[in-house]
Amino acid sequence: MTCYCGRNFSALEQSEIRQLITDHPECHRADLSRMVCRMLQWYKPDGGLKEMSCRVAMLRMQADGLITLPPPRRAKAALRTITATPATNPQKPITQPVQYLGPLLLRKVEPAKSSLWNEYIERYHYLGYTPLPGAQIRYFVLLDQQIVALLGFGAAAWQTAPRDHYIGWTHDLRKHHLPLVVNNARFLILPWIQVKNLASKILAMAARQIPQDWQKQYGIKPVLLETFVETDRFAGTCYKAANWVHVGATKGRGKLGPSGKQSVPIKDIWLYPLDKNFKKKLTA
């Protein structure tokens, strides 16, 4: 039994995957991953195929010498460089107290505006832009049609001990209920927006909005939010002010780092319940 992407693959299943590849030499990797999902009944909670997880699992199987995949259809494309444009130039500073601001609007990023969100993040977020993997919803925060902040939500981290202990998760419970947790992967207030308590107000707005938007888009209503805050850079003050719960910190090892050694920055783990019965629902 070998585990890839949160799923255990028995020796028989590995043999069946090898046979499927042999029986379909005309198929490319994407075709094979869909076929494997159907063969193993590997589905997402909304009924879709876990195609991307399967593709990653098969690549790791190949790296471990368990299967041999056909060559990729085309060479991996280089990441497109994001160049700053006047569209994201700094605007007139906003400094008045939050209670004197006009109404804020949380607007989902539509495909036509996706590159604009990417450009803002690349230009002003300390991590720069990298694609959010898997399920995701991104937002602009607008004040009188002016963009003042940006948010990105995506799939939860597969495993983090303080969170899992706080919830009461075993390996099997986490595997079954992980889609009910959503990660606040990006939060950026633009540098010329200097309004005290604005961040916690935006987080509160997002916590009210994300459950219905996520359910509408993916057929799943999340019950818990998580985020990771680099301890060397930030204190997590806005999350504390917005009633998020600090449950511990990562060990800084990373998924690809050397065993037992810190290889990435240590991050505080903050959680926000979206449902008063979240622990019951996550451990059912």
pLDDT digits (tens, 9 = 90+) for 228-276: 999 989 999 999 999 999 999 998 765 544 555 556 789 999 999 999 9
Give the pLDDT score at 89: 97
Looking at residue 263, its pLDDT comes to 60
Whether residue 81 lies inside any domain: the answer is: no
**Residues 132 and 202 sit within 8 Å (Cβ to Cβ):** no
Same domain for 187 and 256: yes
The answer as to whether 72 is a domain residue is no
CA neighbor of 239 nearest in space, from 193, 207, 213, 194 = 207
Mean pLDDT, the chain, rounded, equals: 91
Domain that holds residue 207: 86-282
- Based on the fold, state whether residues 47 and 111 are members of the same structural domain: no
Extract the tokens encoding 101. Answer: 């601001």
Q: What is the pLDDT of residues 160-203, one digit of tens each?
A: 999 999 999 999 999 889 999 999 999 999 999 999 999 999 99
> Which pLDDT does position 46 carry in this prediction?
73
The pLDDT assigned to 256 comes to 46
Same domain, 130 and 20: no
Q: Are residues 24 and 150 in the same domain?
A: no
Element (H, E) at 14: helix 11-23
Q: Work out the burial of residue 32: count CB atoms within 10 Å of its CB; fewer than 13 is exposed, 13-18 middle, 19 or more buried.
A: buried
**In terms of domains, do 49 and 90 share one?**
no
Instruction: Outline where 128-255 has alpha helix (H).
Output: 161-167, 171-177, 198-218, 237-241
Total-model pTM:
0.77
The total domain count for the chain is: 2
For residue range 191-227, list pLDDT tens digits in order: 999 999 999 999 999 999 999 999 999 889 999 999 9
For tokens 């629902």, what's the residue?
A: 281
Note whether residue 71 is domain-resident.
Answer: no
72 by DSSP, 3-state: which? Answer: coil
Segment 1-44, tens digit of pLDDT: 788 887 889 999 999 999 999 999 999 999 999 999 999 999 88
Q: What are phi and psi of 162, to 5 degrees?
A: -60, -40
Is the domain of 92 the same as that of 174? yes
Using left for φ > 0, alpha for ψ between -120 and 50, and beta otherwise, residue 134 falls in left
Token readout for 206 is 């997002």
Residue at 150: amino acid letter: L
Instruction: Average the pLDDT over 74-102 and give the result.
Output: 85
Distance of alpha carbon 254 from alpha carbon 245, whole angstroms? 22
The DSSP bridge partners found for residue 138 are 152
Decide: 231 and 249 in contact? Cβ < 8 Å: yes
Q: Are 67 and 18 in contact (CB under 8 A)?
A: yes
Write the single-letter amino acid at 48.
G
pLDDT tens profile 41-59: 998 877 788 888 899 889 9
One domain, residues 257 and 147: yes
Q: Kindly give the interhelix angle for 29-40 and 51-63, rounded to the nearest 10 degrees.
A: 110
